[in-house]
Chain A
Amino acid sequence: AQSVTQPDIHITVSEGASLELRCNYSYGATPYLFWYVQSPGQGLQLLLKYFSGDTLVQGIKGFEAEFKRSQSSFNLRKPSVHWSDAAEYFCAVTTAGGYQKVTFGIGTKLQVIP
C-alpha cells in the first residue's frame, strides 16, 4: 500500500529564512506526487505536482519541490519565507491510472516568526 511520511509535525522559521519541508513516500510503481497547503479555517490548495519529466517542479507562491527517486523523497522548498506562508502543508501521493484515492501525509505545521 502507498504511504507518505512527513517527519516534521511542526517547523518554526524566521521570516526571510529559507524553508525545506520533508516528504518521503512508499510506493512500488511510479507515483504522482503533490504538495497542498491549508490555511487556518480553509480547505486545501494545490501548490505543485509531479508526474514525470524534470525532477524540479515549480509551484505557486514561490514554492518548488524536487523529486528524488533514489531517496523516495519529494521535499518542498522556498528560498525566503513570508509571514503569510504560515499554514499546514500536506504531501500526497497517488498512482498512475485509476481514480481519486489520494494518500496524504499527516501534515507539517509551519510557524513563521518575525
Chain B
Amino acid sequence: KAGVTQTPRYLIKTRGQQVTLSCSPISGHRSVSWYQQTPGQGLQFLFEYFSETQRNKGNFPGRFSGRQFSNSRSEMNVSTLELGDSALYLCASSRAGGNEEKLFFGSGTQLSVL
C-alpha cells in the first residue's frame, strides 16, 4: 500500500510569487490535514479536509488556502509569498479524520522563499 505522497519535494520561490503543493493520501483515506513545520515553531496546524470540505482551520492568514478533490487528493496554495513562509509543509492522512486516529505523514515539501 503506497504511503502519503507529496509533490514536489523541494521548491524555491521568490517573494510575491504563489505556490501550489500537492498531497495524495493513502488509498481509502478521506481526511487530509496540512501542517507547517519550522525550527522555531514546530508543527503548526493549517487545515483539514474531508470529502472536499474544510472542517478545521488553524490560525494562518488568508494567503494560505487549500482544497480537496473527489479522489481525496489535496492541494494547498500560498499566495503572495513572504520570507517567513519558508518551511517544511507536511500533509497527513487518515481514514475519517477522527481525533483518535493515527496520522500518516508524507515526507513533506521543503519551500524556500528568497
Contact = CB atoms under 8 A, between A and B. Distances in A.
Chain B binds chain A: yes
Interface of A: 32, 36, 41-46, 49, 51, 90, 94-107
A101 B48 contact: yes
A55 to B, nearest CB: 17
B interface secondary structure, majority = strand
Interface of B: 4, 31, 33, 35, 41-45, 48, 50, 55-56, 58, 90, 92, 94, 97-103, 105-108
B101 A100 contact: yes
Contacts of B58: 101
A43 B43 contact: no
B42 A105 contact: yes
Ranked nearest first, the 8 interchain pairs of A and B with the lowest CB-CB distance are A43-B105, A106-B42, A104-B43, A44-B105, A94-B99, A101-B56, A99-B97, A100-B97
A94 to B, nearest CB: 4
Contacts of B31: 99-100
A104 B103 CA distance: 12
